Amino acid sequence: MFVVDDDESVCKALKRLLRSAGINARILSSAEDFLNQGCHNVPGCLILDVRMPGMNGLELQEKLVKSGSTMPIIFMSAHEDTPVREQVMKAGAMAFLKKPFEDQILIEKVNSALSRIEDGPEP
């Protein structure tokens, strides 16, 4: 489980929330850190902010898709942006949550993503 967001307070809150649900999360502050540390080669789910300095969430998703990654991605954004929501969902994201969102909704999406990983990709 990975969380990529440049906002430290969001990262801390998500780490606590996920831990309370029994989910261990690795926190990274940029898309570049995620790629440079080889996280894209590790099975797991990615909670990803849309807008970040440097490589944004959309660009990271594009790189992952082009590399053949099947890592489930749950996007989050403080901005209501229908074209972006449609773009990321069309590219295979599992969800697009507008901040602030209900804790339980995120936990449900994460559990769904993790069960998808355990069950393997659909034929």
Q: Structure pTM? A: 0.91
Quick one: which of 123, 87, 77, 112 has its CA closest to 1?
Answer: 112
Alpha carbons 78 and 57: distance in angstroms, whole number:
13
Alpha carbons 87 and 104: distance in angstroms, whole number:
25
Alpha carbons 123 and 103: distance in angstroms, whole number:
31
Task: Note whether 97 and 74 are within 8 A (CB).
Answer: yes
Across the strands, what pairs with 49?
A: 76
Quick one: which of 78, 102, 98, 106 has its CA closest to 3?
Answer: 106
Residue 45: phi and psi, rounded to 5, are: -115, 150
What's the pLDDT tens digit per position in 9-65? 999 999 999 999 999 999 999 999 999 998 888 888 999 999 999 999 999 999 999
According to CATH, the superfamily of the domain at 2-112 is: Response regulator (3.40.50.2300)
How many Cβ atoms sit within 10 Å of the Cβ of residue 110? 23
Instruction: Indicate the domain borders of the chain.
Output: 2-112
What's the pLDDT tens digit per position in 77-92? 998 889 999 999 999 9
pLDDT of residue 42: 84
Query: What secondary structure letter does DSSP report for 94?
Result: S
